[in-house]
Structure 1
Amino acid sequence: MISVFGSVNMDLVAYVESAPALGETVTGRAFRTVPGGKGANQAIAAARAGAEVAFLGAVGEDAFGPQMRRTLAESGVDVTGLRTVPGVSGIAQIVVDDQGGNSIIVVPGANGTVTAPSEAELEVIARSDVLLLQLELPIEAVTAAARAARAAGTTVILTPAPVQPLPGELLDAVDILVANEHEAAAITGRPDHEEALRELKARVDWVIITLGSRGALTAAPGTGPALHVEAPKVRAVDTTAAGDTFVGALAVAHVERWSPDRAVRFAGAAAALSVQREGASTSMPTRAEIDRSLAGDVPPPDEHR
C-alpha cells in the first residue's frame, strides 16, 4: 500500500496565450476549477497507475472540501484519513500559457492546520510500503511523518516542493528524493545537474532530478554512475502536475519491485501522457494507458475521458 501525507487544493486555472508580466492584465481563453494539490495529485496518480492508496491530509468546511474528497474517492483513493477542519480548503491559482508552461500561487488553507500526524495517521504510515511526502504541509509535520515511516521500515519518497531549506533530520529519513532541476539547484546551490545530483546523493540513497521534456537523471543504490533516462517525445498542452504524476507512478513501480531504471521509465511514460491533457488530477493516465505507452502503442491523449 502507498500512503500520501500531503496537501489537497482546489486548482483555479486560467488559460492564456502568455502569462501576464507584473502590472499587466491579459485576457484568458478559458477557466476551470480542478481538484489538485501535490499530495492529492500524487495519490490519484498512484491509484490510477494501479496501487492501493490511502490519503492523509485536511480539507476545510467550504464548498471545495466535499468536492475534493469526492474526487479522491472516485479515483480509487481511500479517504478515511482525510480530516475536515474549520475554515477554508487550500487553493492554488494557476496560469497556463499556450506553450503548456505554468505559474502557481498556493494558499494553504486547511493544509496549514496539519502540524503533526495523528496517531491514526501514524498507524496507516506504519502499515504502508511507501510514504509519499511533499512540502505543502508544515515542515514539522512532514519531518515527523518521515521519521515515523523510517522507524517503521516504510520507504519514504520526498518531493521537495515548494522548495525551501530541508532540515537534516528530514533528509536523514528520506529513501528516495525526486526534485526537478530548479528545486535541485535551489537546495544545493549548484546549477549543474550532475553536481547537484552528486551532492544530494551523499545524503539520500536514491536521487532523481527530473528535467521536463529532457527526461531525468537518476542515481540509485548499487547502479554505478548517474543515468540519463530520456523522456518520450510528445506535444505538451499543460505541464501542471506532470511531476506529481511522475512521483505517483514511480511509487507504484517501486512497490512492484521494478529496477530503478525501469521504474524511472515507467514514471516518465506516465508524466508524458499527463502533459498531453489539461488540468492536474484530470490529466493523469490509467495503468493500461501507461503500459500501452511503454509498449509503443500510445493511446490518444483524451482516451480516458
Structure 2
Amino acid sequence: MIRKPRILVVGIFVMDLIASTKQAPNRGETVIGLNFRTAPGGKGANQAVQCARLGADVTMVGRVGNDAYGRETVAAAAASGVDVSRVVVDAENPTGVSAITLEITETGAHNRIVVCPGANGAMTVEEISWIRDEVKNYDLVMLQFELPMFINEAVARWAHEAGVPVMVNPAPAAPVSPELFRCATFFSPNEHEAAAMAGHPIRVDDAGANEDDLRAVADIFREKGVENLIVTLGGNGSVAVNKDGVARVQSVKMPVVADTTAAGDSFVASFSTLWCAGLPARQALAFASHAAAITVSRPGAI
C-alpha cells in the first residue's frame, strides 16, 4: 500500500556555477566555453527537492549565507514543497558554491565538480541537536558526505537509536567510521566510491559490472555492518546486494544526455521515497532508474 512518507534530509545547499564547453581544459590550459549559467544545487538540496516532488513530506536541514545565493537556493527548495524552516542563515559565512565544468561531447555531457561548502561547513552538532528528540517522527533520514563527517555520525546515531532507517549516499567518497557503517540501513555509492571504500576494484565492461567483484565488495561492506548496498553504475544501471542476493536494474537510455550533474541524487531520492512509500526494493530501483534518466535529459540539478 502506497503511503506519504516523512523524510528528513540533512545536507547542503549550494549554488551551481556551470560552465559548458566542448572540451574541458587540461592543467594549465584555458579554453573558450559555450555558455555559463547558475542553478541551485547541493546533494542534500537536490535529494530533498526530488523527494518532495514525488510526494514525500520533506524537511531539509542545512545552512546558507545571508546573501543572494542563499535566498535563491532556499526559495527553490521551498517552491518544490520542501520544509525549509530548519535552515540556518549564517551571518558570517557565504552560501556554498559548486564550480562545474560541463563537457559537451558526441556521447553526451560529462561533468567535473569542485564543491566549496561555505556556510555548510560551519554546521555544529549543537544547532541540530533537536533532531535527537524529533527523528522518531520520520520514516527515513538521508545523509551525504558534503557536510562535516561528525554531523553525519551524530544524525545517523540518533536515527539508529530511534529505529529510523538511514540512507547514506557517500558522495564524495571519504573515510567512514565503523559507527556510521553500522547505522546505515542503505549505503548507496557509485561504482567508483564503492571500490575506493572497499579497497576492491569493480570491473565494468559492455555487459555491466562484474558480479564476482560486486559480491566481494558487498561482503566487505557487510563485514562493516552495511545490510543493503546499492551501487549505481552510470549507463550500466544499478545493482542492489544484500544477504538475499543480487538484484540488477538496467539504466534507461535517453536520446539526449544534457547534464549528468544530479543523476545520482535523483536516483537515491527516488528510490528512498518509493521504498518509504511501501514499494518493494526492486520496483523502487526500477522507478529510480527512470527518474535518473529524465534528470540527465534536462539541464540543471533542481
State TM-score, norm by structure 2.
0.89
Match of 1:133 among 133, 140, 143: 143
Contact 1:159 1:177 in 2 (8 A): yes
Which residue in 1 is equivalent to 2:266?
245
Secondary structure of the corresponding residue to residue 226 of structure 1: strand
- Percent identity, please: 39
* Whole-angstrom distance in 2 between the partners of 1:80 and 1:32: 28
After superposition, the C-alpha distances for 1:93-145 in whole angstroms (9 at most, x for unaligned) are 00111121100000010110113252333344331100000011100011000
Q: CA RMSD in A?
A: 1.2
The Cα of 1:154 is off from its aligned counterpart by 1.2
Contact 1:3 / 1:124 at 8 angstroms: preserved in 2?
Answer: no
Q: Does 1:169 align with 2:183?
A: no
Instruction: After superposing the two structures, state which structure 1 stretch, 108-117 or 265-274, moved more.
Output: 108-117
- Match of 2:136, as an amino acid? A
**Greater fraction of residues in strand:** 2
SS in 1 for 2:218: helix
Query: Which segments of structure 1 move beyond 3 Å, counting only runs of 4 or more?
Result: 121-124
Corresponding position of 1:91: 97
Structure 1 residues 40-70: Cα deviation after superposition (integer angstroms, max 9, x where no partner): 0000111111211000011111221111110
Alignment of 1:1-305 (within 5 A): 1-86=6-91, 87-98=93-104, 99-116=108-125, 118-192=128-202, 193-194=213-214, 195-202=216-223, 203-220=225-242, 224-234=244-254, 235-281=256-302
Q: Which runs of 5+ in 1 are unaligned?
A: 282-305
Give 1:153 shift.
1.4
Amino acid at match of 1:52: D
- Find the residue that maps to 2:77 and give its secondary structure: helix
8 Å Cα contact 1:217/1:229 also seen in 2? yes
Cα distance in structure 1, aligned partners of 2:74 and 2:277: 27
For 1:124 and 1:265, the matched residues in 2 are separated by 32
Question: In the TM superposition, what is the alpha-carbon distance from 1:196 to its structure 2 partner?
Answer: 1.8
* Contact 1:201/1:219 (8 A) holds in 2: no
Tell me the CA shift for residue 197 of structure 1: 2.6
Q: Deviations over 1:150-173 (max 9, x none)?
A: 111111000111111100111111
Distance (Å, rounded) in 1 between the aligned partners of 2:37 and 2:257: 18
Please report the TM-score for the alignment, with normalisation by the length of structure 1: 0.89
Q: How many positions carry a matched residue from both structures?
A: 279
Q: Tell me the distance in 2 between the aligned counterparts of 1:120 and 1:225.
A: 38
Deviation at 1:200, TM superposition (A): 1.6
Distance 2:58 2:242 in 1: 24
